[in-house]
Amino acid sequence: MTVRNTRNRKRNRILRRMLECAALLSLCLLSGCWDKLELEEQAFVVVIGLDKGPRNTVEVTFQIANPQIGSSDIGTAEGEPPSDTIRFTSSDILSAKELANTVITRTINFAHLKTMIVSEELARDEIFPHIAGAAIRDPELRREVAMIVSREKAFDFIMKNRPRLETRPHKYYELMQQRWMETGYVPFSTLNQYLQQQVTDSMFLAIYATARQHNHRVSRHEDAYLAGQVPKRAGDPVQMIGAAVFHNGRMVGTLTGEQMRWVQMLRHKASVDAFITSFSDPLEEDAMVTVRLFKNGNTKIKFDLRKEVPRIHVTLPLRIQLLSFTSLEPYATDPEMQRMLIKHLKEQIESELLEVIRLSQKKFPGDPFEWELFARKHFMTMPAYQAYGWSKHFKKAKVDVKVELRLENFGKQRTPYMQTKRKEG
Amino acid sequence: MTTRQDGKTELSAQLAANLERLKRDFSWPQNQSLVIRNLVVAALKRDAAVLYLEGAADIEEIERRIIEPLVARGPSEFKNADPLDVVRLEIVTHRTGKAAETFDEINGDLLNGWTVLLIEGADRALLFETRGFESRQVPEPIVEHVIRGPKEAFTESAAFNRSLVRKYLRDRHLVAETLTIGDRAASEVTLMYVKDLADPNIVDEVKRRIREVRTDAVTSLPLLEQYIDENPYSLVPNALHTERPDRACAFLLEGHVILLMDNSPAAMVLPITLWSLVHSAEDHYMRWAYSNFMRIIRLLALFVAVLTPSVYIAVSTFHEEMIPSDLLLAIAATREKVPFPALLEVLLMEFAFELVREAAIRVPTVIGPTIGIVGALILGQAAVEANIISPILVVIVAITGISSFTIPEPSLNVTVRITRFILLFAGAFMGFYGIALALACILAYLTTYTSYGVPFLSPLTPHYRSSADMILRLPVHKERIRPHNLNPRDAVRRPERKSKP
């Protein structure tokens, strides 16, 4: 009896072992592996261009990085270009991705897509929100992709963009994105923001760019340009300045680089902390004063929404460093003149801000300052806010702007030499 | 010559018969190891014979302390009547001396280096401890090398090792129990523990397992470790070998048990936890911040050693979006001319690295240095140039290899190397998902693993009170509590100081 029991137990144990092994094996065989793809079997799309095609189609341009150029000394392939650009006409981005494999030997991968360039023509078209929305159904396509609106066809833009200092296209966009954050000439715009702000009352601002020189004009304000207007010679033809304004997913207008900067400042939290700009000199008509502006805390926005014409009070704290003034007036030594200068700058900034606000009230169907987020707080429920209709009221609103300006210093020098001497004397 | 009831043969009163029996037992004269020196005890006017095993006994000691007094001492008045007592108490000047009645006892002691004195007319023999096995001088530690701290290491002599332990830990509660294992060539195992610290259950458990060993001969500690291991198939070690007496004492003071054996230049520490395996001897000789810095480095190295190849495979074949674009393109560019999939590449390189490592251990020391050069040159540079592997793999395998060298314990080192392959396959099958699954399984296993009843990850999990000497350590003055996972009989290292100095 006992012998049989032991034998049974032994057999059971072996059976269990075999079952365990089978389970483990099936785990290996039934799972994973299909997504597996070696790096060199994939083509990494760095830039996507979108143009309007015939009969509700889109022309999708892929710029595919060639890993063998400029990345590693060992794997270099002589004579190959750093990237390949191909255009397909298709109903949307994802079908174009499949179609691309009729030409490209490797699996198209969007995982390293940095930038999406949309032609102004398509951006203003009613089908654009659908095309952009459908694209992100592919998990590979990241929402952090930067969105740029080009004045000409995206295909031309990509073809013309030949940065001199960067061989590889992804590096160009990576570096440009960092510069955008610093100068504030263009908004920080990603696909994610575009999708988010489709459903809100604020407007989405996208980077505005062109690879073509439009009307070459020289402004005394170095930043009052749209893309294509920047006076420059030689170099890469691409310029990025100003913003394309979107409402409900469609482009409705543009902002110049200067306006863009003030919009950034008027937002509660600016994505740009400091920029250099210039104003006219209070004492001399033709002379300019160049200053570096810092945002000195968050913009305070107060609403009075009880009346039919809402009132909005905006307080913008700013710090400035005086960098240069061509009038050569003794601002540094004379406190009286400094006070005058500050007053003058303050008035100028306030008028520029008001101009931007007035412009957006007049020309755009919503507010680009994201004030909507603060206006919402004045309503108990979301339906109450929606019933109020922020965009409609914003257009009528009376806005006053107050700038709190502090002159920090005259550039590098802490105290002017003359003042130090006077104190000692 | 009579055989007793317990099977042991008693000595007879005739010297010749006794000698004959011993010669037969040791296959004399074929076996020249048994040395028989006939002499006459002048004081008693009797024939006698001194026997010892060449190599086992210290010849000089025998000559000076035993033979010389026996021969030189003339007849005189003796206090004792029994000739054996006369010789033992009044003639021989050797520090030991005991009487034996059976041949079994004599044979055993002869093998351990004792000297036998047979006297005509006496039916007992006198035994003197004259152990003189050849042994090394106290060497420097080779494996557990430290910059700061004692530079003494255990040798192959258990008596010597015991004296080293006692030198470092002068505590009257330090107990050295001797157990015998093996049927053919019985060997002695010394079990050392501090009686008022070590948990009696652990001590009993260790003793029980040693007694249960049923085999001919257990010649050294590493073999004994495997005989008394409760999970012989497990990848995780169950005991720790240290060649440093100071480290052995540190373990004794925490309530661990150590085993010593002849022919093993190490002490085996039982039970162990993961922490004892990853700590180094130096951790407590450096100041708090320094040793924690080293511990963090070693911890990171442990993760690097376990995970790097699998993470590389997972990232490069499943999650390419995680690699920065520049690196991605660089890898893709170099991979373009490589004919193998990334997994095979890693396996090739890992295999080559394991080859170099194994070869470096097995190769005679004279040609040892060439292995390193050949390995580095051929495997790295040449393989890349021949487009067999991509350059990033040299970096990955090298960093993995270097990291695995920082793991101080050789058993854990092998564990890590094997685990790396398991994770590598998991990563190649299912990417990060697979790695996470495999890691979860490994963690689950480690939490259930025990060493002599002590959970392997304790006192972290399951949690016990301790001085938190695990991943990091506290300054020494705060390490007051002994780890409670060992159930020490004395919980605190010393009474709490009332006021700060």
DSSP codes, B158-216: HHHHHHHHHHH---TTEEEEEEEE-SSS-EEEEEEEETTTS-HHHHHHHHHHHHT--SS
Q: Are residue B331 and residue B420 in the same domain, yes or no?
A: yes
- Contact flag B431-A35 (C-beta cutoff 8 Å): yes
In a domain, B243, yes or no: yes
Candidates B317, B322, B327, B329, partner chain A, best to mutate (most A CBs within 10 A): B329
Of all helices (H) and strands (E), which one includes residue A409? Answer: strand A398-409
Q: Are residue B214 and residue B119 in the same domain, yes or no?
A: no
Name the residue among B318, B321, B329 with its Cβ closest to that of A71: B329
In a domain, B95, yes or no: yes
SS3 A230: coil
CA distance A133 to chain B (A): 21
Q: Are residue B120 and residue B210 in the same domain, yes or no?
A: no
- Contact flag A67-B320 (C-beta cutoff 8 Å): no
Residue of B nearest to A142 (CA): B321
Residue of B nearest to A35 (CA): B318
Q: Are residue B319 and residue B258 in the same domain, yes or no?
A: no
State the number of CA atoms in the 13 A half-sphere of B214 facing the CB: 1
Q: Are residue B222 and residue B325 in the same domain, yes or no?
A: no
Distance, in Å, from the CA atom of A156 to the CA atom of B289, rounded to the nearest integer, reads 60
- Contact flag B335-A38 (C-beta cutoff 8 Å): yes
Please, what is the end-to-end C-alpha distance for chain B in angstroms? 73
The sign one gets for the Cα dihedral B428, B432, B434, B437 is positive
CA distance B296 to chain A (A): 33
Residues of A in contact with B342 (CB under 8 A): 38-39
b or e along B279-302 (b: 16 or more beta carbons within 10 Å of the residue's beta carbon)? Answer: bbbbbbebeeeebbeebeebeebb
Q: Are residue B399 and residue B447 in the same domain, yes or no?
A: yes
What is the DSSP secondary structure assignment for residue A272, as one 8-state letter?
-
What's residue A413's pLDDT? 61
Residues of B in contact with A32 (CB under 8 A): 429-431, 433-434
Distance, in Å, from the CA atom of A247 to the CA atom of A359, rounded to the nearest integer, reads 15
CA distance A210 to chain B (A): 25
Q: Are residue B226 and residue B94 in the same domain, yes or no?
A: no
- Contact flag B320-A46 (C-beta cutoff 8 Å): no
- Contact flag A112-B325 (C-beta cutoff 8 Å): yes
What is the DSSP secondary structure assignment for residue B225, as one 8-state letter?
H
Last residue of a domain, one of B129, B149, B182: B129
Q: Are residue B359 and residue B236 in the same domain, yes or no?
A: no
Cβ–Cβ < 8 Å for B313, B420: no
In chain B, the number of structural domains is: 3
How many C-beta atoms surround the C-beta of residue B501 within 10 A? 4
pLDDT digits (tens, 9 = 90+) for A150-173: 999 999 998 888 887 887 888 888
What's residue B77's pLDDT? 82
Question: What token pair was written down for B445?
Answer: 């296993």
Cα-based distances in Å from B147 to A177, B144, B164, B283, B301? 50, 10, 20, 11, 20
B121 touches chain A (CB under 8 A): no
Cβ–Cβ < 8 Å for B454, B485: yes
What's residue A425's pLDDT? 47
CA distance B469 to chain A (A): 37
- Contact flag B342-A38 (C-beta cutoff 8 Å): yes
Name the residue among B336, B428, B434 with its Cβ closest to that of A40: B336
In a domain, B278, yes or no: no
Q: Is the pLDDT of residue A32 over 60?
A: no
Q: Which of A200-214, A305-319, B9-23, B304-318 has the lowest mean pLDDT?
A: A200-214
Distance, in Å, from the CA atom of A355 to the CA atom of A350, rounded to the nearest integer, reads 8
Distance, in Å, from the CA atom of A32 to the CA atom of B84, rounded to the nearest integer, reads 83
How many C-beta atoms surround the C-beta of residue B100 within 10 A? 19
CA distance A193 to chain B (A): 21
Cβ–Cβ < 8 Å for B144, B243: yes
B434 touches chain A (CB under 8 A): yes
pLDDT bin (cut points 50, 70, 90) of residue A217 is low
Q: Are residue B245 and residue B204 in the same domain, yes or no?
A: yes
Average pLDDT across chain A, whole number? 83
B499 touches chain A (CB under 8 A): no
Average pLDDT over residues A121-136: 86
CA distance A198 to chain B (A): 27
List the domain range (segments joined by +) for residue B109: 15-129
SS3 A211: coil
Distance, in Å, from the CA atom of B425 to the CA atom of B429, rounded to the nearest integer, reads 6
Residues of A in contact with B430 (CB under 8 A): 31-33
- Contact flag B325-A38 (C-beta cutoff 8 Å): no
Residue of A nearest to B384 (CA): A74
pLDDT digits (tens, 9 = 90+) for A274-297: 888 888 888 887 888 888 888 888
Name the residue among B329, B332, B429 with its Cβ closest to that of A31: B429
- Contact flag A38-B331 (C-beta cutoff 8 Å): no
Question: Chain A residues contacting B, CB < 8 Å?
Answer: 28, 31-33, 35-40, 42, 44, 46, 65, 67-68, 71-72, 74-77, 109, 111-112, 114, 140, 142, 168, 170-171, 174
Last residue of a domain, one of B216, B243, B272: B272
CB neighbour list of residue B455: distance below 8 Å, 6 or more residues apart: B273, B447, B449, B461, B462, B485
In a domain, B176, yes or no: yes
B204 touches chain A (CB under 8 A): no
CA distance B232 to chain A (A): 17
Could you give the domains of chain A?
39-255 (no CATH), 268-425 (3.30.300.210)
B459 touches chain A (CB under 8 A): no
Q: Are residue B305 and residue B163 in the same domain, yes or no?
A: no
Cα–Cα nearest to B269, from B247, B284, B294: B247
Distance, in Å, from the CA atom of B449 to the CA atom of B273, rounded to the nearest integer, reads 10
Q: Are residue B246 and residue B338 in the same domain, yes or no?
A: no
In a domain, B357, yes or no: yes
Cβ–Cβ < 8 Å for B192, B261: no
pLDDT digits (tens, 9 = 90+) for B40-68: 988 888 899 999 988 888 888 899 989 99
Question: What token pair was written down for B376?
Answer: 């580095």
Q: How far, rounded to the nearest angstrom, does the alpha carbon of residue B307 sit from its chain's CA centroid? A: 29
- Contact flag A140-B341 (C-beta cutoff 8 Å): no
Cα–Cα nearest to A194, from A272, A257, A269, A130: A130
Cβ–Cβ < 8 Å for A300, A332: no
CA distance A132 to chain B (A): 21
Q: Are residue B123 and residue B177 in the same domain, yes or no?
A: no
Q: How far, rounded to the nearest angstrom, does the alpha carbon of residue B68 sit from its chain's CA centroid? A: 41
Name the residue among B328, B337, B433 with its Cβ closest to that of A39: B328
Residues of B in contact with A76 (CB under 8 A): 333
Cβ–Cβ < 8 Å for B176, B258: no
In a domain, B371, yes or no: yes
Name the residue among A68, A112, A168 with its Cβ closest to that of B336: A68
Cα–Cα nearest to A62, from A99, A40, A90, A88: A88
In a domain, B281, yes or no: no
Last residue of a domain, one of B454, B470, B495: B454
B428 touches chain A (CB under 8 A): yes
Average pLDDT over residues A222-227: 70
Question: What token pair was written down for A276?
Answer: 């250099």
- Contact flag A39-B320 (C-beta cutoff 8 Å): yes
CA distance B324 to chain A (A): 8
What's residue B501's pLDDT? 43
Residue of B nearest to A170 (CA): B325
Low-confidence ranges of chain B (pLDDT < 70): 1, 135, 368-370, 373, 377, 494-501
Cα–Cα nearest to B332, from A206, A410, A67, A311: A67
- Contact flag B433-A114 (C-beta cutoff 8 Å): no
How many C-beta atoms surround the C-beta of residue A56 within 10 A? 12
What is the interface size between A and B, counted as CB pairs within 8 Å? 94
Average pLDDT over residues A402-422: 70
Chain A neighbours among B 320-379 (CB < 8 Å)?
Answer: 320-321, 325-326, 328-338, 341-342
